């Protein structure tokens, strides 16, 4: 492995032999000093920023600092050289005078002027390719499914053909890591662990999003999710949650001990104050039959008509505990279902025969989608479930 380096000593000797005595007194090609500090910033998904600091010995006058990156994944257009400060008691005036690029080489040369002999701390920054990170999570729900422990991990993959010693790794959230980064190495690190994160277990009937479980019988698919909110009130909210695979477990409690694997989902990028939904599977013990109970065309004027639609839901909960069922309907989907797609936005109003208690969720409903909550009691002691019927009455206006 060839290190990123300043010029080789033999090159310095050969160059000095070719220079006149006056030039030899003021120009020195500098051999590679060891890295004093390295920081790798992984917060940007499109680019990995590396900053390394070195203490460079200087002579009075002009110094040439040669930096090469052959066989590594450095983007040469992003290299920046800065003088941070002199090292030691001498008060040096150090300036970067110019930069040049030797032809046909993966290298560049900085000309650095110094007011006296001494050392200076310099920082070299660049974008490095093939040094990548991904995130994954482990979510362990409490036995009563009211909260979970969310552990976030970062996996670092280094295929940049370069290795680093002790390196400060910054993922964009959580604490910094001081870890060595080896050549062609993959390592995983715990970023954060958040305890007692409140969750809601949801059951959702949405024909336009999840479709039918059994279409001949009009039975809808009812996915289950854990929903958690990324904010401080819910023991999160320090930073956005990056996307990544989430492995989901449930705690067996003191009696059973250990955890049971529930499944895995892909957690989407979740900004602060937004919600992450984790898919748990399809509920087999909540039955929702959805039918179009009424579909009438009402002439308004000319070729304009209103479509009177009533959607009926027959709901049964065979669980041994009470749950809340979410029913979501897209007005565009209803219009397309009964009339076909006209390509226009839907103009509509809700009719008086709608039976959902409390009406639509005002916070989560939109101009095109309605969300209702239906509280369902547990099944009876005999195992039978009470059947509930609800209706959504909408008038789709000014169609032609």
Quote the pTM value: 0.81
Give dist(CA 141, CA 127) in Å, integer: 40
Separation of CA 95 from chain center: 41
What pLDDT does 212 receive? 97
What pLDDT does 16 receive? 33
What pLDDT does 140 receive? 98
- Residue 37: pLDDT over 70: yes
Own/partner pairs for 336-341, CB < 8 Å, 24+ apart?
A: 337/292, 338/292, 338/295, 338/307, 338/309, 338/396, 339/307, 339/396, 339/399
Quote the Cα angle for 217-222-227, to 5°.
170
DSSP code, position 268: P
pLDDT confidence bin for 257, thresholds 50/70/90: confident
- % the chain with pLDDT above 70: 92
Give dist(CA 229, CA 276) in Å, integer: 6
- Residue 201: pLDDT over 50: yes
pLDDT confidence bin for 11, thresholds 50/70/90: very low
- Residue 270: pLDDT over 80: yes
What pLDDT does 20 receive? 41
Neighbours of 202 (CB within 10 A): 18
Q: DSSP string spanning 357-378? A: TT-S-TTT--SSEEEEEEEEPP
Give dist(CA 51, CA 183) in Å, integer: 18
pLDDT tens across 291-345, in order? 999 999 999 998 899 999 999 999 999 999 999 999 999 999 999 999 999 888 9
- Residue 21: pLDDT over 70: no
pLDDT confidence bin for 176, thresholds 50/70/90: confident
pLDDT confidence bin for 30, thresholds 50/70/90: low
pLDDT tens across 39-89, in order? 999 988 888 999 999 999 999 999 999 999 989 999 999 999 999 999 998
**Structural domains of the chain, with CATH:** 9-127 (2.60.40), 130-196+230-272 (no CATH), 286-399 (no CATH)
What pLDDT does 32 receive? 61
Give dist(CA 301, CA 343) in Å, integer: 21
């Amino acid at each position: 492995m060839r290190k990123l380096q300043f010029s080789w000593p033999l090159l310095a000797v050969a160059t000095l032999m070719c220079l006149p005595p006056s030039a030899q007194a003021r120009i020195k090609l500098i051999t590679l000093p060891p890295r004093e500090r390295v920081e790798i910033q992984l917060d940007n998904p499109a680019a990995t920023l590396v900053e390394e600091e070195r203490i460079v010995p200087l002579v009075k006058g002009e110094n040439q600092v040669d930096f090469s990156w052959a066989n590594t994944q450095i983007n040469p257009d992003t290299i920046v050289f800065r003088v941070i400060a002199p090292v030691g008691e001498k008060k040096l005036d150090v300036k970067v005078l110019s930069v040049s690029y030797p032809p046909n080489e993966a290298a560049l040369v900085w000309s650095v002027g110094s007011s006296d002999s001494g050392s200076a701390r310099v920082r070299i920054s660049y974008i490095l390719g093939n040094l990548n990170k991904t995130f994954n999570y482990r979510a362990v729900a409490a036995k009563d499914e009211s909260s979970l422990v969310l552990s976030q991990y970062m996996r670092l993959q280094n295929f940049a053909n370069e290795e680093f010693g002790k390196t400060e790794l910054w993922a964009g959230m959580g604490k910094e890591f001081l870890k060595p980064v080896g050549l062609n190495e993959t390592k995983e690190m715990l970023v954060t662990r958040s305890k007692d994160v409140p969750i809601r277990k949801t059951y959702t009937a949405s024909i336009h999003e999840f479709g039918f479980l059994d279409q001949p019988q009009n039975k809808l698919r009812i996915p289950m999710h854990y929903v958690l909110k990324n904010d401080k009130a819910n023991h999160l909210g320090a930073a956005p949650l990056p996307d990544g695979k989430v492995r989901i477990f449930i705690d067996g409690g003191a009696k059973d001990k250990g955890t049971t694997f529930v499944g895995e989902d892909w957690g989407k990028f979740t900004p602060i104050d937004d919600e992450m939904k984790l898919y748990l599977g399809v509920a087999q013990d909540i039955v929702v039959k959805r039918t179009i109970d009424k579909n009438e065309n009402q002439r308004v004027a000319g070729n304009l008509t209103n479509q009177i639609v009533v959607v009926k839901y027959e709901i049964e909960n065979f669980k041994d505990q009470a749950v809340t069922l979410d029913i979501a309907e897209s007005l565009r989907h209803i219009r397309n279902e009964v009339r076909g797609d006209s390509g226009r936005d839907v103009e509509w109003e809700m009719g008086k025969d709608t039976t959902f208690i409390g009406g639509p969720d005002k916070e989560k409903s939109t101009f095109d989608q309605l969300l209702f909550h239906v509280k369902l009691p547990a099944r009876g002691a005999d195992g039978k479930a009470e059947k509930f019927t609800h209706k959504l009455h909408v008038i789709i206006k000014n169609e032609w």
